A and B are shown apart, each in its own frame.
Chain A
Amino acid sequence: MSGEIAKAFARAKARGEGALVAYAMAGDPDLARSVEVFTALVEGGADIVEVGVAFSDPIADGPVIQGASERALKAGSTLKRVLEEVVPEVRRRCPETPLVIMTYVNVIMAMGEERFAKLARERGVSGAILPDLPPEESGALRATFDAAGVDLIPLCAPTTPRARAEAIAKDARGFVYCVSVAGVTGMRAELPPDLSQRLDLVRNASPVPVVAGFGISSAEQARTLSAHADGVVVGSAIVRAAHADGPQAAKALCAEIKRGLKR
């Protein structure tokens, strides 16, 4: 366990806030300018930063993050370059904020699981989220990550049966990422009515914090969910704001959502 993730949740809790896990795409619009975006997320109040690494075939992502992936790939983003050019600089500017890599398993396999884990830890990455790696396929990779001190953060879905959800939660590293809607990433006007019960169930079983993600874009949604979760993930809304209006817009959105997370 990296420990940094637990500390970040503890700091937010001590301030009486739910944690904001903020996602942006490394390399969108290019690697250097995405560093400005990540920095702005922390300035806006993000407690944990998810560093998206583009993949050519992002099956879990909606149109906003697909677009960001295409821009990042065109700008020459690769996992290696993100670990060399983005992660160290964001760590230098925001030393307290844990960084979590979010990408697809093929990108990790291409670098080599062990090589990635070692390099990621050296550069200050705390964890990784791989949305196409369910528990059945993650055993070996998780052992490798555990040995290096990188948390492999599991996902739990609305379709996950109760016993399976509890098993995922019990065995989690870092935090549990509860996917709020059956679907891909992207903003939703409404979240499913049974989401709060599901979050309660996972939270009861989990030794680590539980966050809700997918579809969340407003302070109001964050406020509703923060009664049932330790935090929320905001991705597509931030990516869209940063793409349309730059880092300051992403910072303002983080600050607004953070207001919704104050208890």
Chain B
Amino acid sequence: MNTETAAGRFGRFGGRYVPETLVPALMELEEAYAAARADPTFDEEVARVLREFVGRPTTLTPARRLTESWGGAHVWLKREDLAHTGAHKINNTVGQVLLAKRMGKQRIIAETGAGQHGVATATACALFGLPCEVYMGALDVERQALNVFRMRALGAVVRPVESGSRTLKDAMNEAMRTWVSQVSDTHYVIGSAAGPHPYPTVVRDFQAIIGKELRTQAQAAFGKLPDAIVACVGGGSNAIGVLHPFIGDASVRLIGVEAGGHGLDSGQHGASLTLGSEGVLHGSRSLVLQDGDGQIQEAHSISAGLDYPGVGPELAHLAKTGRMEVRTATDDEALAAFYEVARMEGILPALETSHAFARGKELARELGVGKYLVINCSGRGDKDVATISARGVPPAVGVKA
């Protein structure tokens, strides 16, 4: 089922709000993407790389101890943390870099927050032999030294961005400014299902492999579609990827969990679906955190991947129409969930992913015994151990969280 109501529009959201200089490049991308999708050899190539290099399909794992502990629905995990580079981000970068090669582009630029999308882009560029520049807020460069090293080791040039709040939002601004000046030979790999048309569609299609695999795996594992699927939402690429193939299945509840940060009343959060208002940021009309004068506000989350004041336009549409339910989890709840999942299931989830787990217990109980809840385990938490350990030693063994 397609929620696109017109080219690049999802209800009131989407569109292409960019400087005129970029419009022809976005039209070229739109056409090249349509041509690639119409060419079976392109899909075959993407599928081959996902299988041979990324390690797809990722597994669907029963979370037996969480199921028992939570005392409600059967809990299963879609294991994007097992994809190469440790998160779902690689699904999109492999697709977009292959597309860029097909378009004859000579170089790749990308933005990154925590560095996961930057690492995934640098990885795809190394695999396919294209030069790669990654724009990253100077504050994030300081906070995410490990991923900065990974990108540089993979041959990418990391460009720290000193403007504004020196985080993801500013990195995206700078990547767009750079793209404007080098648009003829450069492809910009956006990592979220956000940005100007056709990016929200392109990123969603490449990430929809998650949900497509889940459909098949759920049938095989428990003989029906899940009763509910939950994913964390920052810009929303893992959420739209796992949820999109189920939009037409009325029996499947779709749930997004946003960053509650220090709490929704604190003004320090990343809950753009819950508390945002309609606006234009980074090329599309969506729900954004802004003040009454239209100035974009800084988001806050313990997880850099959810620390973004906007959200992809299709998720905004799904939330506004009620097809997707939206909840939030605070920094503290996500941290508690991180330890709970580590100790109950032997998985260190990413802090982003921990937000989805943080709502797992209440969702499992709401659904009830005999129902099936799938949590999209979007990434692994190794990247976050510095952040988490800085908050203190792990809780004593025997204390669940």
CB <8 Å contact, B296 and A131: no
Contact of B17 among A79, A132, A179 (CB under 8 A): A132
Q: Does any Cβ of B come within 8 Å of A158's Cβ? A: yes
Q: Does any Cβ of B come within 8 Å of A233's Cβ? A: no
A112 to chain B, nearest CB (A): 10
A residues less than 8 Å from B25 (CB atoms) = 159
CB <8 Å contact, B279 and A59: no
Contact of B21 among A79, A106, A109, A159 (CB under 8 A): A159
CB <8 Å contact, A179 and B294: no
CB <8 Å contact, B183 and A182: yes
Chain A residue with Cβ nearest B293: A78
Chain B residue with Cβ nearest A107: B294
A130 to chain B, nearest CB (A): 9
B133 to chain A, nearest CB (A): 16
B residues less than 8 Å from A158 (CB atoms) = 21
Q: Does any Cβ of A come within 8 Å of B218's Cβ? A: no
Q: Does any Cβ of A come within 8 Å of B39's Cβ? A: no
CB <8 Å contact, A106 and B19: no
A interface bracket (residues with beta carbon within 8 Å of B)? 35 or more
Chain B residue with Cβ nearest A76: B293
Known: A60-B19, A155-B20. A110 touches B294 (CB 8 A): yes
CB <8 Å contact, A160 and B279: no
- Cα separation A158 to B184 with both chains bound (whole Å): 11
Known: A132-B17, A134-B20. A110 touches B293 (CB 8 A): yes
CB <8 Å contact, B294 and A55: yes
Q: Does any Cβ of A come within 8 Å of B281's Cβ? A: yes
CB <8 Å contact, A106 and B296: yes
| Complex interface bits, A158-178 against B, C-beta within 8 A gives 1, otherwise 0 | 111100100010000000000
B220 to chain A, nearest CB (A): 44
CB <8 Å contact, B183 and A132: no
CB <8 Å contact, A59 and B294: no
B14 to chain A, nearest CB (A): 10
| Complex interface bits, A211-224 against B, C-beta within 8 A gives 1, otherwise 0 | 00000000000000
CB <8 Å contact, B173 and A134: no
Known: A57-B164, A79-B294, A137-B16. A157 touches B21 (CB 8 A): yes
Tell me how many residue pairs across A and B have CB atoms closer than 8 Å. Answer: 121
- Cα separation A110 to B19 with both chains bound (whole Å): 19
| A interface SS class | loop
Chain B residue with Cβ nearest A168: B20
Q: Does any Cβ of A come within 8 Å of B15's Cβ? A: yes
- Cα separation A168 to B20 with both chains bound (whole Å): 11
B185 to chain A, nearest CB (A): 11
A residues less than 8 Å from B182 (CB atoms) = 182
- Cα separation A61 to B177 with both chains bound (whole Å): 8
B residues less than 8 Å from A161 (CB atoms) = 24
CB <8 Å contact, B177 and A59: yes
Q: Does any Cβ of B come within 8 Å of A207's Cβ? A: no
Q: Does any Cβ of B come within 8 Å of A187's Cβ? A: no
Q: Does any Cβ of A come within 8 Å of B219's Cβ? A: no
Known: A79-B293, A105-B17. A132 touches B24 (CB 8 A): no
A residues less than 8 Å from B21 (CB atoms) = 157-160, 179, 182-183
Contact of A137 among B15, B278, B296 (CB under 8 A): B15
CB <8 Å contact, B281 and A183: no
- Cα separation A161 to B184 with both chains bound (whole Å): 13
Known: A157-B21, A182-B183. A57 touches B282 (CB 8 A): yes
| Complex interface bits, B4-27 against A, C-beta within 8 A gives 1, otherwise 0 | 000000000001111111111100
CB <8 Å contact, B282 and A106: no
Contact of B180 among A58, A78, A183 (CB under 8 A): A183
B28 to chain A, nearest CB (A): 10
B residues less than 8 Å from A88 (CB atoms) = none
| Complex interface bits, A86-125 against B, C-beta within 8 A gives 1, otherwise 0 | 0000000000000000001111111100000000000000
Q: Does any Cβ of A come within 8 Å of B387's Cβ? A: no
CB <8 Å contact, A66 and B176: no
- Cα separation A160 to B20 with both chains bound (whole Å): 7
B residues less than 8 Å from A263 (CB atoms) = none
Q: Does any Cβ of A come within 8 Å of B117's Cβ? A: no
Chain A positions 14-70 with a Cβ under 8 Å from a chain B Cβ: 55-63, 66, 70
Contact of A106 among B173, B184, B281 (CB under 8 A): B281
A residues less than 8 Å from B18 (CB atoms) = 59, 132, 134
B residues less than 8 Å from A73 (CB atoms) = 295
Chain A residue with Cβ nearest B174: A59
CB <8 Å contact, B294 and A106: yes
A63 to chain B, nearest CB (A): 8
A244 to chain B, nearest CB (A): 19
Q: Does any Cβ of A come within 8 Å of B181's Cβ? A: yes
Given A59-B173, A105-B17, A109-B279, 7 more pairs with CB closer than 8 A: A79-B293, A105-B280, A110-B294, A159-B24, A159-B25, A168-B20, A182-B182
Q: State the 3 A-B residue pairs at the shortest beta-carbon distance, nearest first.
A: A110-B294, A183-B181, A157-B21
Residues of A within 8 A of B (CB): 55-63, 66, 70, 73, 78-80, 104-111, 131-134, 136-137, 154-161, 164, 168, 179, 181-184
A-B contact pairs, 13 of them (CB 8 A): A57-B173, A105-B280, A107-B294, A134-B16, A137-B17, A159-B183, A160-B20, A161-B24, A179-B19, A179-B20, A182-B21, A183-B21, A184-B180
